[in-house]
Amino acid sequence: MIQWYYADEQRQRHGPVEDRDIRALYQRGELNGQSLVWREGLSEWAPLESLAEELELQRTAPAASGGIDLRADLAAIANGTAPLPGTGGGTHSPYAASSTAMGSGHGVVHGDGPIVHAGLWRRFAASIIDSLITSVASYIVLIPLALILGMGMGEIMGTESSGASVLFMLAQYALGIGIPAAYFGWMHSSTSMASLGKMAVGIKVCRTNGEGISFARAIGRYFAYTLFVLFTCGLGALISGLMVAFSQNKQALHDMICDTIVVDRWAFTDQPELQREGLGTATIVILSLFALLIVGGIVLAVVAGAALASMGG
């Protein structure tokens, strides 16, 4: 698959994109015949009109004219201030890598398009997956620890008191907080800006201006939510959900404290049109499976209760 790069009117480099993306930009008038493009195999940036046949632009009528100063851009290439993709170059280059433009390694922030904020149900579906992942990770560590300590089921369940059971309980609390903190800190500060659950439903965490968050801010965001829930005896989870459902930017309290928002994965990118409102297929599937598990648990509890009652009678 051929990967293309193109320059906008501000001489900022974008890409990689596919042929169809170039055609779409040309049709919308964001690119014209004088816009510069590059792909592997070209020795230098070239005007789009010179590659019209290869990109099948003759079938596509542009919506509007405009574009960039071709002479100035070719001069920039000639004097070395606009290197080809992957060839390096100083930060003064208008075609410099997008990560340097942002300064955080997450990519260029495009704030001129519409922003779709992630609603309560998409965030809740993501939390289901993330809770499962962090719980499994915790038990992967706890089970070998119990074997090393030589603990029995009574000590593990807390029905027997011993030094090993106290140590196990402390480890359980530490891992229950530490593993999710490390997980969310690492994932939310990564280039994807999303945990595995958020990736599944197509959302991400960023600053209110669209920039990615640091590891320290991601850790702080996790502890802000955790402490709020603990100090409110669990009511913080409900309050956070209500704030997400009814606040203007769908921010929970920990989002407001840490200057973060949760948005569609395509928000603040050069393709904001790919954002979607609503739940999405992944969210619906996750919520449906979760609801089935809840209903199944209730049914099993009722059946077990009835069986015990009949045995007692």
Give the DSSP per-residue string, 179-238.
HHHHHHHHHHTSTT-S-HHHHHHTEEEEETTSPPPPHHHHHHHHHHHHHHHHHTTTHHHH
Q: Is residue 112 part of a domain?
A: no
Q: What range does the domain containing 244 cover?
A: 120-288
Report the SS3 class of residue 97. coil
Q: Are residues 46 and 185 in the same domain?
A: no
Q: Are residues 180 and 147 in the same domain?
A: yes
Q: Is residue 307 part of a domain?
A: no
Task: List per-residue pLDDT tens for the chain, 313 residues long.
Answer: 678 888 877 677 787 888 888 888 888 888 888 888 888 888 788 888 888 888 888 655 555 444 444 445 544 544 444 444 444 443 333 333 333 334 345 666 776 678 899 999 999 999 999 999 999 998 898 888 777 766 655 555 555 566 667 777 788 888 889 999 999 999 999 999 999 999 999 999 999 989 999 999 999 999 999 999 999 998 999 999 999 999 888 999 999 999 999 999 999 988 888 898 889 999 999 999 999 999 999 999 999 988 888 886 5
Q: Are residues 12 and 64 in the same domain?
A: yes
Q: What is the pLDDT of residues 277-310, one digit of tens each?
A: 889 999 999 999 999 999 999 999 999 988 888 8
Q: Are residues 158 and 88 in the same domain?
A: no
Q: Are residues 59 and 156 in the same domain?
A: no
Distance, in Å, from the CA atom of 141 to the CA atom of 176, rounded to the nearest integer, reads: 11
Q: Are residues 13 and 64 in the same domain?
A: yes
The last residue of one of the domains, among 48, 63, 96, is 96
CA 136 vs CA 130, 141, 166, 175, 232: distances in Å: 10, 9, 21, 11, 26
Residues whose CB is less than 8 angstroms from the CB of residue 97 and which lie 6 or more positions away in sequence, other chains included:
13
Q: Determine the Cα angle at 310 with ends 309 and 313, to 5°.
A: 85
Q: Are residues 76 and 130 in the same domain?
A: no
Based on the structure, what is the number of domains in the chain? 2
Residue 178: both structure tokens together: 């530490």
Q: Are residues 273 and 140 in the same domain?
A: yes
Q: Is residue 111 part of a domain?
A: no
Q: Are residues 125 and 84 in the same domain?
A: no
